[in-house]
Amino acid sequence: MSPALADPQAFDRQLAEAAQRFGTPAYVYATDTVAERLAHLRAHLGRWFAISFAVKSNPNPALLRWMGDRLDYLDISSGGEFALSREAGWEPGRISFTGPAKQERELRPAIEGGLGELVLESLREAELADAIAARAGHVQPVLIRIAPARVPKGFGDQMAGRPSPFGVDAEDAARILPQIAALPNLRIIGLHIYSGTQCLKPDAICENWRIFMQVFSETCAALDLRPEKLIFGAGLGIPYHPGETELDLTAITAEIGADLDAFRADPRFADTRLVLELGRYLVGPAGWFVTRVVSVKESRGSRIAICDGGLNANLAASGNFGMVLRRNYVMHRVGGDQGGARPEEKQDISGPLCTSIDKLAGGVTLPRLEVGDLVAIHACGAYGPSASPLYFISHPHPREVLIEGEGMRDATRIPAL
């Protein structure tokens, strides 16, 4: 069980220790929680899928190194992420490379370095990769990303079903894919679809995967391809806000299991490895953003706690990372209500920046906050430091702390100012 759920008081002591030893603001990652979520995922979906971790969700090298013998694959989206993954000990043959604007300067080191699969998102990219592979005397394995014509409702972000920079539109595949197949230094080994993300509705996820299977079947038949690998962009969401519930994997397997079995029964896919690509589902709930209250003021009937970390350190929690309507994340005061000595009340929580949008919570009910208190914001293990404007107003960068069991260590990737 996640340490935060197994013994909240003991975990609060770990959060307080991390803040005391390494400073605030800080991201604290608990590997026990990642391991628990991975085991849960494999127990429900491992019958069909290998697991690929999307590095963009959390590129912390210490975390990537910890994942090395626990996950099957990594998916990167830049040359920089390729370098980070290699430095963290990942073999290049276990890495795939997505992204709609790949350039020669990042493709060349990846292809020459033995990249497992290049995920092609356009004919332009295929022709560029073919030329690089030719100069290297190499035939590069590739997956072709397809953008389906439809994405079910229920996804927080859609990357298909409308004009999109991602992948080859399904309706253009019959024209473009044969041109890619004709390039002599590329070998098509499969297909890739990632069309929607952050979904908490099992029926929408299942409908989306059915669309994937239909597109995969039709495309492979048209190319007469017996794929080695097919990538399913998971779309599995996590609860961020009060009232949201954890995604029910049992409901997903009950609804989609027969479809996946039938898909695998097709002789064309008998030797195909299905891969579930995801990021935040594994690491999001395994991270907490810890920030310290440095000032408290009463302003026109509201109590405002002003903290040392704000949107510069955690853009997502401030509601400025793709959130249409700003909602509070789940959060708590480290140390709780001190046995009732801290009555709960509604408060606003702001960061240190000179902008009105630097707000971490509005009207959140917490034990009364005072100067020096620590606030822990939940579900911050994905899209944290690397997705935030760290240099805005030049405050100190957040620390990153890795908790492994009872031990903890500084795992900060981005140097402090």
Q: Report CA dihedral (215, 204, 37, 190) to the nearest 10 degrees.
A: 0
307 is known as an active-site residue = no
Say which residues have a Cβ less than 8 Å from residue 23's Cβ, sequence separation at least 6: 396, 399
Single out the catalytic residue among 199, 307, 354, 380. 354
Given a contact cutoff of 8 angstroms between Cβ atoms, the answer to whether 314 and 384 are in contact is yes
Task: Check: CB of residue 364 under 8 Å from CB of residue 293.
Answer: no
Can you give the three-state secondary structure of the chain, one letter per residue? CCHHHHCHHHHHHHHHHHHHHHCCCEEEEEHHHHHHHHHHHHHHHCCCEEEEEEHHHCCCHHHHHHHCCCCCEEEECCHHHHHHHHHCCCCHHHEEECCCCCCHHHHHHHHHCCCCEEEECCHHHHHHHHHHHHHCCCCEEEEEEEECCCCCCCEEEECCCCCCCCCEEHHHHHHHHHHHHCCCCEEEEEEEECCEEEECCHHHHHHHHHHHHHHHHHHHHHHCCCCCEEEEECCECCCCCCCCCCCCHHHHHHHHHHHHHHHHHCHHHCCCEEEEEECHHHHHHHEEEEEEEEEEEEECCEEEEEECCCCCCCCCCCCCCCCCCCCCCCEEECCCCCCCCCCEEEEEEECCCCCCCCEEEEEEEEECCCCCCEEEECCCCCCCHHHCCCCHHHCCCCEEEEEECCEEEECCCCCCC
Active site residues: 354
